[in-house]
Amino acid sequence: MFSSGQDPYDPDGTQHGGGVPPRGMPDFGAHLDALRPDAPLPGKVALVRVLMFVGGACGLALSALFLMGLSVSSETVAEAMRQQADAASGQSAEPFSDVETVRAMMAAMAAVTGVYGLLSTLLAARIHHRTVGVFWGVVLFQAAAGALLLWSLAGDYFAVIPLGFAVMMVVHMFSREARAHYGLL
Q: How far is CA 51 from CA 2, 98, 127, 147, in A?
A: 55, 38, 12, 18
Q: Which of 1-15, 57-71, 137-151 has the lowest mean pLDDT?
A: 1-15
What is the pTM (predicted TM-score) of this model? 0.74
At 137 the pLDDT is: 96
Is residue 14 classed as helix, strand or coil in its secondary structure? coil
At 114 the pLDDT is: 97
Q: Which of 42-46, 66-70, 149-153 has the lowest mean pLDDT?
A: 149-153
Q: Where are the domains of the chain?
A: 42-182
One-letter amino acid for residue 138 of the chain: V
For residue 10, pLDDT beyond 70: no
